[in-house]
């Protein structure tokens, strides 16, 4: 039979996949015929950073890249660029906080805000350098602020709605010191 930890990990991976597809579906729904005046937050990025920080074993890099590539294709972004940037951002956050225990929420939010800002700027700079049409600087700045503002929402939904908790010390011992 499948172990309890493996079953729980697979359930959370399925939950993240369903949430990503749900956000993608909501993003492509034609709810308004007018162009967007303000960009919405990239909730997949917010949730990815929360999940990688809280339970890195629930969001493996292969799953993250696969879902981000799906988003790139559906949203007609340059395939792989945003997926690679999000993967680098998530792996930076994963390695930065591996085994540090409970960190204050404001510190976590500040680090995640810096990571989201850097990711958006790298994306826009790369698109500018290679001459691909992209959004204006003002649009990107507003999206950065929206991402930062919605990070606590993603944290609240993950922790209180989905029950995503940091691994207990017994989880580390059961796996030989790895989360």
Splitting the chain (179 residues) into consecutive groups of 10 residues, what average pLDDT does each group show?
Answer: 87 96 90 72 94 91 97 93 96 79 86 96 94 86 95 95 77 53
Contact 55, 165 (CB under 8 A): yes
Q: How far is CA 120 from CA 10, 88, 112, 151, 177, in A?
A: 30, 12, 12, 15, 34
CA distances from 45 to 74, 97, 101, 120, 168 (A): 16, 17, 22, 10, 25
Give the pLDDT confidence score for residue 177 in this predicted structure.
53
- Break the chain into its structural domains and give their ranges: 4-174
> Sign of torsion, CA 48 152 29 37?
negative
Q: Are 59 and 24 in contact (CB under 8 A)?
A: no
How far is Cα 132 from Cα 112, in angstroms, rounded to an integer?
Answer: 27
pLDDT at 174: 53
Question: Of 111, 142, 123, 124, nearest to 49 (Cα)?
Answer: 111
Q: What is the pTM of this model?
A: 0.88
pLDDT number for residue 171: 60
Could you give the CA distance from residue 59 to residue 134 in angstroms, rounded to a whole number? 29
């Amino acid at each position: 039979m499948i172990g309890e930890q493996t079953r729980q990990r697979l359930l959370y991976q399925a939950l993240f996949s369903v949430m990503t597809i749900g956000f993608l579906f909501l993003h492509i729904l034609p709810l308004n015929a007018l162009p967007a005046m303000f960009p919405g937050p990239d909730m997949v990025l917010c949730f990815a950073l929360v999940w990688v920080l809280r339970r890195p074993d629930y969001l493996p890099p292969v799953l993250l890249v696969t879902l981000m590539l799906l988003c790139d294709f559906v949203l007609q972004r340059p395939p792989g660029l945003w997926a690679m940037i999000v993967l680098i951002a998530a792996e930076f956050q994963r390695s930065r906080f591996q085994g540090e225990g409970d960190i204050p929420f404001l510190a976590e939010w500040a680090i995640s805000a810096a990571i989201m800002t850097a990711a958006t700027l790298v994306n826009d700079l790369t698109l500018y350098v290679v001459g691909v049409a992209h959004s204006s600087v003002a649009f990107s700045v507003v999206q950065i602020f929206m991402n930062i503002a919605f990070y606590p929402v993603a944290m609240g939904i993950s922790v209180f709605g989905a029950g995503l908790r940091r691994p207990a010390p017994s989880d580390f011992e059961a796996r030989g010191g790895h989360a």
